[in-house]
Amino acid sequence: MLHSYIKESFVDYPYDVTCTLFFSGCPYRCVYCHNKELQVNCPEPEGLTDEVLKYLYSVRDKMSVVTLSGGEPSMFIREYWEKLFSPLISWGYYFCIHTTGYDLYGLSMIMPYTALLIVEHKAEKEKEWDARVQYRGAYSRYLALLELASAHKVPVEEHQLKM
């Protein structure tokens, strides 16, 4: 669910100022997660989606990219498609998505409007990858995410995990 947002961030999208939306809920349990409080799915604060839409409508001539982070934002693309993402797309926004590639169908919906994917490269081998996130099949989703991004010509920034 939509958890919170930062109106103006200079660190969540490398090319310009962005509004960052944080979603709570993640199927992975990475021990090194820097947003552990967002791993658990929490209810959306009342009126938050409307507040975000009102703000982004007011800055639509000054800002062009909205960053989706979390938790795992791909889990909520389908749920928020009509009430959040469709209006933003109609106002000309593109997205930067910090994702693990959990919901590939949701990501395929938003990929044509995506300016950048930021993914964390968690390990070199499938077994090690799945063990680090405590979720079987995470590595294969990651590979499918890279294929999806390539098919849509979306640039991918990979952050190498060093442990």
Cβ atoms within 10 Å, residue 131? 15
What is the DSSP code (8-state) at residue 83?
Answer: I
157 vs 80, 115, 130, 154, CA distance in Å?
A: 25, 11, 20, 10
pLDDT digits (tens, 9 = 90+) for 101-119: 899 999 999 999 999 999 9
pLDDT band for position 100 (cuts 50, 70, 90): confident
- Does the pLDDT value for residue 74 go beyond 80? yes
Instruction: Identify the CATH number of the domain in which residue 70 sits.
Output: 3.20.20.70
Domain count, the chain: 1
Give pLDDT tens digits for 17-72.
999 999 999 888 877 777 878 888 888 999 999 999 999 999 999 999 999 998 89
The domain containing residue 39 runs over which residues?
A: 2-160
- Report residue 162's pLDDT band, with 50, 70 and 90 as the boundaries: low
* C-beta pairs of 158-161 under 8 Å, 24+ apart in sequence: 158/119, 158/120, 158/121, 159/118, 159/119, 159/120, 159/121, 160/121, 161/32, 161/120, 161/121, 161/122, 161/123, 161/132
